[in-house]
């Protein structure tokens, strides 16, 4: 998980979750590679949702992508919890890392960080080309729908970026660096840890104020 063993800390109102390396799904990845296991992240998010002390989540991303189903499952869970969520892309958030970056209430990307947007692809033997193609189309649509639901990018712009033939050698897709991801509407703002934490605290404060106002109106 990339989190060192440290002495027990006092309860904090913000939980930091790191998603690094390759996102593992139902099959074990290369043990020599750094990986994020979805079976670790999902119960962690459940604990966050159930914890009365936790008011917000900061998700730090530096991932090459990985298993589509696992990545989308984590993204949907992040998007559905009641606590405020801010995401921060450091280094990169590629492939299925894109919907993970847009899954929160607000998103940041470091000036030098990258996002690689491309269609779903596979490695190895494909049995039943037509059936596999239709499955990929449906899977791709799930990802596209999630991204346009959780960011400000238009479907046409996302399709253009995703199918560009100029960015990646002998392939399709685009590499977006820092402010380019903001300009197209994928990410809300360029910034680092300080900006992300400040925004998360601001969202938590606004949520608490709205809750108090609601109680007063009742």
26 is catalytic: no
The Cα–Cα gap between 26 and 39 comes to 9
CATH among 3.40.1190.20, 3.90.226.10, 3.90.650.10, 3.30.56.10 for 14-212: 3.90.226.10
Q: Which structure tokens are listed for 113?
A: 């960080």
The Cα–Cα gap between 68 and 99 comes to 10
Q: What's the predicted TM-score (pTM) here?
A: 0.85
Q: Which structure tokens are listed for 92?
A: 């990169």
The one catalytic residue in 93, 107, 118, 151 is 118
The one catalytic residue in 95, 107, 151, 174 is 95
Angle between helices 68-80 and 38-50 (to 10 degrees): 10
Distance of CA 80 to the CA centre of its chain: 13
Find out whether 45 and 3 touch, Cβ atoms under 8 Å.
no
Closest alpha carbon to 95 in 139, 128, 135: 139
The Cα–Cα gap between 99 and 102 comes to 5
Return the bridge partners of 132, or none: none
Q: Which H helix or E strand runs over 197?
A: helix 193-217
Strands 106-109 vs 84-93: parallel, antiparallel or unpaired: parallel
For the chain, which residues make up each domain, given as ranges? 14-212
Q: Which residue has the tokens 């059936």?
A: 131
Angstrom CA distances, 110 to 58, 85, 94, 184, 195, stand at: 14, 17, 14, 15, 10
Q: Walk along the chain (218 residues) and give the pLDDT tens digit of each residue.
A: 455 555 555 567 999 999 999 998 777 666 777 888 888 999 999 999 999 999 999 999 999 988 888 999 999 999 999 999 999 999 999 999 999 999 999 999 999 999 999 887 655 444 555 666 677 788 889 999 999 999 999 999 999 998 887 766 556 788 999 999 999 999 999 999 999 999 999 999 998 888 776 666 65
């Amino acid at each position: 998980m990339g989190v060192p063993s440290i002495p027990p800390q006092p309860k904090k109102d913000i939980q930091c979750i790191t998603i690094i390396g390759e996102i593992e799904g139902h099959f074990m990845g290369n043990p020599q590679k750094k990986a994020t296991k979805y079976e670790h992240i999902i119960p962690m998010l459940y604990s966050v949702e159930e914890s009365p002390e936790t008011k917000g989540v900061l998700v730090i991303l530096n991932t090459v992508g990985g298993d589509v189903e696992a990545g989308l499952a984590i993204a949907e869970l992040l998007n559905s919890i009641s606590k405020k969520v801010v995401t921060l892309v450091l280094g990169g958030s590629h492939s299925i890392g894109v919907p993970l970056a847009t899954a929160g209430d607000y998103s940041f990307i470091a000036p030098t960080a990258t996002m690689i947007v491309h269609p779903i692809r596979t490695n190895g033997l494909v049995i039943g080309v037509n059936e596999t193609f239709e499955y990929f189309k449906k899977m791709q649509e799930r990802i596209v729908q999630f991204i346009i639901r959780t960011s400000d990018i238009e479907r046409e712009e996302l399709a253009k970026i995703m199918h560009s033939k100029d960015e990646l050698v002998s392939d399709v897709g685009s590499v977006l660096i820092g402010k380019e991801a903001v300009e197209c509407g994928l990410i809300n703002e360029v910034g680092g840890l300080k900006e992300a934490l400040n925004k998360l605290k601001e969202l938590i404060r606004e949520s608490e104020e709205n809750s108090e106002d609601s109680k007063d109106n009742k």
